[in-house]
A and B are shown apart, each in its own frame.
Chain A
Amino acid sequence: MIAALHWSAWLLLLCSVLIGLVLELAFFITQRRRYRNDD
């Protein structure tokens, strides 16, 4: 199933999703921790 799509297409798809999610989660977790400390 995975092989049905060329590896470079998987790479593009994963980059699109993971870059956004990783960056966003890092921001979200850091900021939430600051708010918790503030409370």
Chain B
Amino acid sequence: MASTGIIAVLATYLLILLAIGAWGGRESKGVAEYFVAGKKLPSWVIAFSSNATGESAWLLLGLTGMGYLVGVHALWIVLGEVLGVTLSWVFVAVPFKAYTDRYDSITVPDYLEARFRDSRHLLRLISMAIIVTMVTAYTAAQLTASGKAFSSFLGTSYTTGVLIGAAVILYYTTVGGFKAVAYSDLLQGVLMFGGLLALPIVGFAAAGGWTTVMATLQTMDPNLLEPMGEFGWSVAGVASAAGFVGIGLAFLGAPQLLMRFISARDRREIVDASLIAVICIIVFDVGAVFAGMAGRTLFPGLADPETILPEMSVGLFPSVFAGIFLAIVLAAIMSTVDSLLILASSAVVRDFIQMTLRPAFSDLKLSVLGKVTTMIIGVIALVLALGEVRMIFWFVLFAWSGLAAAFTPVVLCSLFWKGTTRSGAIAGMVAGFSTTIIWVVAVKEHVYDLYEMLPGFFIGFIVTIGVSLFTAAPEGSTDEWNAIRRALRQSQRGPDQS
């Protein structure tokens, strides 16, 4: 039975989220306000929101479990994620912000349609289909994780855990919109930062210090201290390391992360946010891997390595801290789910209803429609999670990589190559997405379990570039590309000032 202290900590955390939802709701009465907080967010918020959105329960349960299972081999994931986050802020964020401000875009499909003069809305419709499908399944899986977290920390039933998690997320996301999502992400990101800073420090101290932990791991299995792990320098080892590095590629163009750049107040906020985001991701990832390694010496022989974080929080900290760690796990889940729900809602309301069907709805009516859509998608995900549908597992395998492989090659080509065409973008998006699915279902197990993100990216780039070479760029887009690039080099605040 959970202690009063744990329940008090948890209740406080959930109440704060509800309060943030009510606070954000005061300024979510228009489409731009509801979906990108009116493009007014400051650096701290977009930095933590970006990292908290990019890292789900997988960071806290999966990556600590990976450190536990394979030791320093998991540092390849750190390399990939730090590179992905850094390259994204340094090279993608500023030009993407410049383009989306120029086009007055509030979604990624908004940007793609304007960039490629897609008057038939094909890019919007394909984007919407991919986003809604992937997000619903991914949300269902995260709610499943919420049910399991509640039952493992508090002993409640799985159903109760799913319902509590879903109710809180749906309230503050529906009522508060993107502003509530981003500010709750800030709180959740700070919690995750604190937890992943404290856990390895306490873990190593409890296990007898650095030298003792390393000596113990060496005795348990020398491969735990080898960067190439049990595979050594073999094809399987290189494929495993490359797959781990590939996880970070998603940070370069996943739409839920690009939304943070759109929502920034201006480019100065992006520059300030970049430093915070990079330091934050280093602490997240290094902390998770080393916490798992210390945990291996403290709690050897766990049947499921992904339970190492709950084991450590209960075994090494006073009971009230177990409540804090439950809040941290929930924070990782919620910060991802809320952002995905808003993303899917924006795809339906902004990209499909407002910009494709073009009904004569007022801004207020569209924002209400956004709230209703957020609720509907959340409820569908909730029903899937309550049913523990087996299909969810399969969707989750490629949800993160599917979203990233569909959008990243196209977004990067559109930003850095003026020759990218509408046909190239459509073909690249379909090819990148399809490749990840085909790879997971039919190819992966035959090719050293190579992570699907890598072939998805490769094919996405090849097809985008290949088709673009044989089709004409939209009229005026080359001149516009040159003008924006020139403006980016010259101006300090925005391309329109030059």
Q: Smallest CB-CB separation from B225: which chain A residue? A: A6
Most chain B CB inside 10 Å of its own CB: which residue of A8, A15, A31: A31
Given A34-B492, A38-B493, does the pair A20, B85 have CB atoms closer than 8 Å? Answer: yes
The SS class assigned to the A binding surface is helix
- Nearest Cβ on chain B to A29's Cβ, whole angstroms: 10
Given A27-B274, A32-B271, A35-B492, does the pair A16, B89 have CB atoms closer than 8 Å? Answer: no
Q: Select one of B72, B268, B493 contacting A12, CB under 8 A.
A: B72
- What chain B residues lie within 8 Å of A9 (beta carbons)? 72, 75, 225-227
When chains A and B are docked, how far (Å) is the Cα of A27 from the Cα of B90? 6
Q: Does B20 lie at the interface of the complex (its beta carbon under 8 Å from any beta carbon of A)? A: no
Q: Are B86 and A12 in contact (CB under 8 A)?
A: no
When chains A and B are docked, how far (Å) is the Cα of A23 from the Cα of B76? 18
When chains A and B are docked, how far (Å) is the Cα of A20 from the Cα of B286? 13
Q: Are B83 and A19 in contact (CB under 8 A)?
A: yes
Given A24-B89, A27-B89, does the pair A5, B225 have CB atoms closer than 8 Å? Answer: yes
When chains A and B are docked, how far (Å) is the Cα of A9 from the Cα of B275? 25
Binds A, one of B56-64, B207-215, B339-347: B207-215
A residues 1-39 near B (Cβ < 8 Å) are 1, 4-6, 8-9, 11-13, 15-17, 19-21, 23-25, 27-28, 31-32, 34-35, 37-38
Q: Are B225 and A20 in contact (CB under 8 A)?
A: no
- What chain B residues lie within 8 Å of A28 (beta carbons)? 271, 274-275
- What chain A residues lie within 8 Å of B214 (beta carbons)? 4-5
Given A17-B82, A17-B286, A19-B83, does the pair A12, B227 have CB atoms closer than 8 Å? Answer: yes
- Nearest Cβ on chain B to A11's Cβ, whole angstroms: 8
Q: Does B78 lie at the interface of the complex (its beta carbon under 8 Å from any beta carbon of A)? A: yes
- What chain B residues lie within 8 Å of A13 (beta carbons)? 72, 75, 78, 286
Q: Does B278 lie at the interface of the complex (its beta carbon under 8 Å from any beta carbon of A)? A: yes
Q: Smallest CB-CB separation from A38: which chain B residue? A: B492
When chains A and B are docked, how far (Å) is the Cα of A13 from the Cα of B74? 10
Q: Are B268 and A20 in contact (CB under 8 A)?
A: no
- What chain A residues lie within 8 Å of B281 (beta carbons)? 20
Q: Are B492 and A16 in contact (CB under 8 A)?
A: no
Binary contact readout B398-428 vs A (1 if CB under 8 angstroms, 0 otherwise): 0000000000000000000000000000000
Q: Does B79 lie at the interface of the complex (its beta carbon under 8 Å from any beta carbon of A)? A: yes
Q: Does B197 lie at the interface of the complex (its beta carbon under 8 Å from any beta carbon of A)? A: no
Q: Are B278 and A24 in contact (CB under 8 A)?
A: yes
When chains A and B are docked, how far (Å) is the Cα of A20 from the Cα of B87? 8
- Nearest Cβ on chain B to A28's Cβ, whole angstroms: 5
- Nearest Cβ on chain B to A4's Cβ, whole angstroms: 4
- What chain B residues lie within 8 Å of A1 (beta carbons)? 210-211
When chains A and B are docked, how far (Å) is the Cα of A19 from the Cα of B89? 14
Q: Are A35 and B83 in contact (CB under 8 A)?
A: no
Q: Does B282 lie at the interface of the complex (its beta carbon under 8 Å from any beta carbon of A)? A: yes
Binary contact readout B268-307 vs A (1 if CB under 8 angstroms, 0 otherwise): 1001001100110110011000000000000000000000
When chains A and B are docked, how far (Å) is the Cα of A4 from the Cα of B226? 12
- What chain B residues lie within 8 Å of A21 (beta carbons)? 278-279, 282
- What chain A residues lie within 8 Å of B226 (beta carbons)? 6, 8-9
Binary contact readout B189-215 vs A (1 if CB under 8 angstroms, 0 otherwise): 000000000000000000000110011
Binary contact readout B249-282 vs A (1 if CB under 8 angstroms, 0 otherwise): 0000000000000000000100100110011011
> 16 pairs across A/B with beta carbons < 8 Å?
A1-B210, A5-B72, A8-B226, A8-B227, A12-B227, A13-B78, A13-B286, A16-B79, A19-B83, A19-B86, A20-B83, A20-B278, A23-B90, A27-B274, A35-B271, A35-B492
Chain B residues with a Cβ under 8 A of chain A: 72, 75-76, 78-79, 82-83, 85-87, 89-90, 210-211, 214-215, 225-227, 268, 271, 274-275, 278-279, 281-282, 285-286, 492-493
The 4 closest A-B pairs by CB, nearest first: A4-B214, A38-B492, A20-B82, A16-B79
Chain A residues with a Cβ under 8 A of chain B: 1, 4-6, 8-9, 11-13, 15-17, 19-21, 23-25, 27-28, 31-32, 34-35, 37-38
